[in-house]
Structure 1
Amino acid sequence: MTFGLVDTFFISMLGTAELAAISFTFPVTFTVISLNIGLGIGTSAVIARLLGANLHEQAKETATGALMLAFVLAVVMALIGIVSVEPIFSLMGASEDLIVHIKDYMHVWYAAGVFLAMPMVGNSVLRAAGDTKTPSYVMAFGGLVNVILDPILIFGWGPFPALGIQGAAIATLISWAIGLFYIIYLLAVKRQLMQARLLNWPELKRSCGGILKIGLPAAGANMLTPIATGVVTSIVAGYGSIAVAAWGVGGRLESIASIVVLSLSMSLPPFISQNLGANKLDRVLQAFNLCIKFVLLWQLFIFVLVALGAHFIADIFTDDPQVASIIQLFLVIVPLGYGLQGVIILTNSSFNAMHLPMAALGLSIVRLFVVFVPFAYIGSQLYDLSGLFVSAVVANLLVAILAFSWFKKVLHTQVAELNLSEKVS
């Protein structure tokens, strides 16, 4: 998440037009990232369950197949993305002068996406094996490289030419490429969690079947979020590029403010899948309840901090008073719903970990297109941007209640079925 935030910070120094351009790219870039997240969810769920059942060789084959699949899909997405930049962003409401900046950024970013896909899936393999520290080190190092390269390439420090918004994308590409080479070495050589060779077609088909069964619905569910964000961005675009610039900053800050929730959404599923493989559903219930309680309290604390510091945070990203005022309005309203959004995110990832991807997909559809987008449109029509922001909080409240009740019901049903089967045996 720091990649997007750091890029936004440095690009904001170029001007409001460049800031608006990078804000338009967020839904699209996150759509691609969501595909990788979905593959990672499928990979983590399958491998963790195999490891929980002590099927280590099958787990290694599955890890190898997952990385091969990630590479192929990333290349396909990059090719599609490069040829569709102009129609997609025009549809979102970007003006012709902004599309010039968007093309500069996205053409490089799509190429960088190939280098992102494999480390993300590789990190999921490590988490499935119980290692949550190494993935954080890998991504943190990449983030550090990006922080160093961003100003050098954007503003042209030293012998480097000033590349503007495109420099941010090049910095991202280099950072992710470094992470790719390290994660492959780690998995294939040092940890031996994958096979140090390419799989043949029967092996690839066998290893990817389980991943795609969970990963495709999970990817679809995750990709719905940026699609819905794109729809809402088009609504915000009706208020001008200044509003889009502020909306983009708010979206980047949301990712950072929700970072603990996102980390739990990556570490809780392997725990659930391993205990599912070992038929210890009581531990699944305990972990889920504990995480829900924690995120509600934690995100309430974050809301207080963000709301109190709204003026200071806005001044970091812009010196335009109109943009700053909208950022402040965003920060004193929308973060109130981050804890509720956390409940939804953790429930969604828990469904995937329980090998119930269609439930996760259904929850995402309800959240985004039955509740969030319609509420955002109605709120904006009634009370402009403030109404849109409030509607996001209300939408999260309604869906959080649904998500929590749904997962608890499913889990209690599975516990009852497990107890019955144990009695019969």
Structure 2
Amino acid sequence: MSVSTTASPSLARQLWRQTWPMTLGVLALLGFQLTDSAFIARLGTAPLAAQAYTFPLSFLIIGIQVGLGIAIAALISRALGAGEAQRARRLGSLVLLLGAAVLGGLALLLWLIQAPIFTLLGADSATRALIRAYWAPQLLAAWLGALLYFGYSLFRAHGDTRLPGKLMVLTSLANLVLDPLLIFGLGPWEGWGLPGAAWATVLAFALGLIIVGRRLAGRAWLALEGLLDEARRSARPFLGIAGPAMVGQLMPPLAAMLAIAVVATLGEASVAAWGLASRLETLSLVVVLALTMSLPPWLGRCYGAGDWAQVDRLLRLAVRVVVGWQLALGGVLALLAPWVAAGLSGNPEVQQDLALLIRFLLPSYALLGLCMLMVSAGNALGWPLRSMLMSAARLFLCYLPCLWLGARLGDLVGLAAGAALGNLLAGALAWQWSRRLLRVRMDRLVKTI
């Protein structure tokens, strides 16, 4: 007996309803990060380069929080799919407490070891002085942002993507208003410069946390009884998902550190351009990032119910959306590269380098997005170790070797071309990997019908 893998119009509408709030929210969230960089660029190349050096460590924090968030969404959605509502409440409480403790400890550690880390990344003494004033409020902002993300994960696991989407827009608007005030000042007050960007984010995330806390207080999604027993019961499956997911999420920051060390050999302007390109990358991948948030809880419920035919239909539909959208967006931005670069930086040398990076990198994100989607889906479908290995292959077998070789052969042009080639190879590899794993599941399904 055959199983249909054609996505129906109703399925597409359901996916749209689940994803569009997160798309707007992620767009707003990433937009304010790009806004931070655009405002900082007006302070000069040195502050912009200083911020760029912090990106790999910021990505480290984000990687751990996303790994924990993946485990939150997967375990709670599976429990709900299996009809275990009370267990889902206990899991929600456990992961919120664990996440706050883990990310708080990491932020403290990164503050204590900042000098050797930024020295290893290639920052000189003047740049490290700029970073030092910025790093403490930025770490506080990262911790608050992680707590907010865990709250979003809880809502998504219960199928509510609207509130997280709305709050991402709200915090983005708050940051947009606060950024120029705290960076440049108002009237006789001169503002705080680079640290002002971090303090604006602190205040915006604090506002979001207040609202999330009040909304959670009105929902029966948390439980305080039986937490120790639940912790013992769920420790192994939680670590089985969170461990590989966090390792997988930690690999991009490590790759980013290695990449920026390569870029640093090309000069300060190239580092500044690379930092802006990194912000633009995440903004251009907004639909992919929204799908990696909205799709896994849905897949997790299908996993809990054993509905692999629906899993196949969902993944095929999501891949068509990602590849089509990213190719169209990448092509348009590549054509508009000089104007986009001019809007993000006032330095002609940075503009030139940024335009070059946009032309090479943005179209390649169609296959990068496909790889990201497959890795996220794998964590929800019981393949966390394989997802981690796919992340490792993307970065250390495809991306970094091509980037390094390109830089050696052709400076910034070669580096950009190498990075684009690495993205293309990673996407092709992820597609073959995911189809092979899903084919095994589908064959078992057909045999049982």
Unaligned runs of 5+ in 2: 1-29
Aligned to 1:58: 87
Aligned to 2:403: 376
Once residues 108 and 391 of structure 2 are traced to their aligned partners in structure 1, the CA distance between those partners, rounded to angstroms, is 27
Superimposed CA distance per residue, residues 52-101 of structure 1 (whole angstroms, 9 cap, x where no aligned partner):
11111100110111100110011111110101111111111111111111
Question: Which of 53, 77, 96 is 1:67 aligned to?
Answer: 96
Superimposed CA distance per residue, residues 374-417 of structure 1 (whole angstroms, 9 cap, x where no aligned partner):
11111111111111111112112212111111111111212333
Contact kept? 1:82, 1:106, Cα under 8 Å: yes
Q: Report the AA paired with residue 220 of structure 2.
A: Q
Q: Report the AA paired with residue 28 of structure 1.
A: L
Q: Write the mapping of 1:152-167 to structure 2, written as runs, cut at 5 A.
A: 152-158=181-187, 161-167=190-196
Q: Figure out how many residues of one structure are paired with residues of the other and give that number.
A: 420
Once residues 340 and 296 of structure 1 are traced to their aligned partners in structure 2, the CA distance between those partners, rounded to angstroms, is 7
Residue 185 of structure 2 is aligned to residue 190 of structure 1: no
Q: Report the CA distance between 1:158 and its aligned residue.
A: 4.8
Once residues 205 and 181 of structure 1 are traced to their aligned partners in structure 2, the CA distance between those partners, rounded to angstroms, is 31
Residue 172 of structure 2 is aligned to residue 130 of structure 1: no
Q: Write the mapping of 1:340-379 to structure 2, written as runs, cut at 5 A.
A: 340-379=367-406
Equivalent pairs: percent with the same residue? Answer: 35
Q: TM-score, normalised by structure 1?
A: 0.95
Question: Which of 15, 26, 40 is 1:11 aligned to?
Answer: 40
Superimposed CA distance per residue, residues 96-134 of structure 1 (whole angstroms, 9 cap, x where no aligned partner):
111111111111111222211221112111111111111
Q: Write the mapping of 1:24-423 to structure 2, written as runs, cut at 5 A.
A: 24-158=53-187, 161-187=190-216, 189-195=217-223, 197=224, 200-420=227-447, 422=448
Q: Report the CA distance between 1:339 and its aligned residue.
A: 0.5
Runs of 4+ in 1 over 4 A off after TM superposition: 158-161, 197-200
Once residues 382 and 198 of structure 1 are traced to their aligned partners in structure 2, the CA distance between those partners, rounded to angstroms, is 61
Once residues 403 and 103 of structure 2 are traced to their aligned partners in structure 1, the CA distance between those partners, rounded to angstroms, is 32
Superimposed CA distance per residue, residues 326-382 of structure 1 (whole angstroms, 9 cap, x where no aligned partner):
011011111111000011000000110112110111001111112211111111111
Q: Report the AA paired with residue 337 of structure 2.
A: A
Superimposed CA distance per residue, residues 131-185 of structure 1 (whole angstroms, 9 cap, x where no aligned partner):
1111111121111111111111111225755111111111111111222222222
Q: Report the CA distance between 1:313 and its aligned residue.
A: 1.1
Q: 1:206 to 1:144 in 2, by over 3 A?
A: farther
Q: TM-score, normalised by structure 2?
A: 0.90
Structure 1 window deviating more from structure 2 (11-20 vs 157-166): it is 157-166
Once residues 102 and 199 of structure 1 are traced to their aligned partners in structure 2, the CA distance between those partners, rounded to angstroms, is 44
Structure 1 window deviating more from structure 2 (165-174 vs 111-120): it is 111-120
> Cα RMSD over matched residues?
1.6
Does the residue aligned with 1:192 lie in a helix, a strand or coil? coil
Once residues 175 and 255 of structure 2 are traced to their aligned partners in structure 1, the CA distance between those partners, rounded to angstroms, is 28
Contact kept? 1:152, 1:160, Cα under 8 Å: no
Contact kept? 1:61, 1:207, Cα under 8 Å: no
Q: Report the AA paired with residue 157 of structure 2.
A: A
Structure 1 window deviating more from structure 2 (411-420 vs 165-174): it is 411-420
Contact kept? 2:90, 2:225, Cα under 8 Å: no
Q: Report the CA distance between 1:203 and its aligned residue.
A: 3.7
Unaligned runs of 5+ in 1: none
